[in-house]
Amino acid sequence: MKYPNRPTRSRSGGFSITEMVVSATILVILGAGIAQSGGALRGAVTGGQSSDVLMGDAVDAMEVIRLDLKSSGFVGVYPHTFLNGNAATGFDIHDHTPATKHAGDSEIAAGPDREIIFLRPADADANGVPDVDGAGALVWDGQEFSYVRVDDANGTPVLERRIDGVTDRVLARNVERVTFETQADDGTVPAQAVRVTLHMRHQVPGGSVQRYFAQSMVKLRNE
């Protein structure tokens, strides 16, 4: 007895269901890998951008501070440095709540803030030239200038420049620690100078932490 020939699948007639399932599975795996790689790349780009912003903010802030202090001087009780928002008696208008610390205990940025109060020369005619008295000595402005680290309305630690305890401007955000040190604070600091240190810290989406450190030694005017 003869049986009719069973139909055979032509190789040119398309894919079998099994082949289609295997192909779809491979595409899913490849797609997941590409998505994961893209996410990692976006994270790296975001982290790099955040680091650049931290560095730029620190450099800009340090330049403003340097110019401010360079025009100042050691006169009487100034400059006056104090820890964690607790200014000494007589400087009560500069007291403030310390900014939040995010750095771990083992990080140097977790140390105390040392802030500063200083004077600047008077310039009554606003011509950019400091005023002097009849004897040729500098006349100091009656206002007290300060740099302090505080939390802004969003809880981000920022570095502020203040005049008589009132905010004049915000110099930088994500400042984890700031220190102003004179020779009275640290014997390694040269006489008539202030060592300024900024520790920047920012946690980017995804959990990674960007850090930047800047330091400058500023020579002040003589008393």
In which element (H, E) is residue 37 found? helix 17-71
Please state the domain extents for the chain.
27-219
Omega prior to 79 cis, within 30 of 0: yes
150 by DSSP, 3-state: which? Answer: strand
- CA distance readout (Å), 81 to 89, 121, 148, 185, 193: 12, 19, 10, 8, 13
State the pLDDT at residue 44: 43
Tens of pLDDT, residue by residue, the chain (223 residues) = 544 555 555 444 555 666 555 555 555 454 555 445 454 444 444 444 567 889 999 999 999 999 999 999 999 999 999 999 999 999 999 999 999 999 999 999 999 999 999 999 998 888 988 899 999 888 999 899 999 999 999 999 999 999 999 999 999 999 999 999 999 999 999 999 999 999 999 988 788 899 999 999 999 986 5
pLDDT attached to residue 213: 93
Measured distance CA(16)–CA(21) in Å, rounded: 9
Q: Please report, as a single letter, which amino acid is at residue 50.
A: S
Would you say the C-alpha torsion 164, 166, 171, 177 has a positive or negative sign? positive
Sign of CA dihedral 138, 144, 145, 146: positive
Q: Check residue 204 and give its pLDDT.
A: 83
Longest dimension (CA), the chain: 134
For residue 78, what pLDDT is reported? 96
